[in-house]
């Protein structure tokens, strides 16, 4: 079980728990505003963009090449950006805080 905190663009904090699937799926299933996942989680639409709070980047690891490229579609992307459909929920993610991209 991993506890994941989302901070939305209106500064609302949403804390969710999950044990499998992707972070995007967890967010969509729980209606986190700003995470759409239009392509269903195949790294094609870039509508599940989050910024990892810097101190947790060691937990999330690095984006793959395709993910990094897709993030370039979004002008708000930075070095902490991830597509949450590519973040698989494991115990390793427990406690992370993600800011939903604008």
The one among 17, 54, 58, 73 contacting other proteins by CB under 8 A: 73
Among 3, 40, 76, 94, the residue binding other proteins under the rule CB under 8 A is 40
Q: With H, G, I as helix, E, B as strand and everything else as coil, classify residue 55.
A: helix
Which residue, 38 or 92, is less far from other proteins as judged by CB?
38
Q: Does 42 bind other proteins (CB under 8 A)?
A: yes
Cβ atoms of 22 and 30 within 8 Å: the answer is no
Q: Comparing C-alpha atoms, which of 90, 16, 98, 86 is closest to residue 55?
A: 98
Task: Transcribe 13-51 into DSSP letters.
Answer: EEEEEESSSBHHHHHHHTT-TT---TTSSSSSS--SEEE
Q: Should residue 17 be labelled a site residue for other proteins when binding is judged by CB under 8 A?
A: no
Residue 98: its H or E element: strand 97-100
Q: Which of 7, 14, 16, 39 binds other proteins (CB under 8 A)?
A: 39
* Shortest distance, position 53 Cβ to other proteins, whole Å: 25
Q: Are 87 and 23 in contact (CB under 8 A)?
A: yes
Cβ nearer to other proteins, comparing 33 with 95: 33
For binding to other proteins (CB under 8 A), which residues are involved? 28-31, 33, 36, 38-40, 42-45, 65-66, 69-70, 72-73
């Amino acid at each position: 079980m991993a506890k994941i905190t989302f901070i939305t663009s209106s500064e609302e904090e949403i804390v969710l728990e999950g044990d499998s699937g992707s972070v995007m799926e967890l967010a969509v299933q729980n209606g986190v505003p700003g995470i759409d996942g239009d392509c269903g989680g195949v790294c094609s639409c870039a509508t599940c963009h989050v910024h990892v709070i810097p101190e947790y980047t060691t937990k999330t690891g690095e984006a793959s090449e395709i993910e990094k490229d897709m993030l370039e579609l979004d002008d708000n992307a930075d070095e902490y950006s991830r597509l949450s459909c590519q973040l698989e929920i494991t115990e390793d993610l427990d406690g992370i805080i993600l800011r939903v991209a604008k």
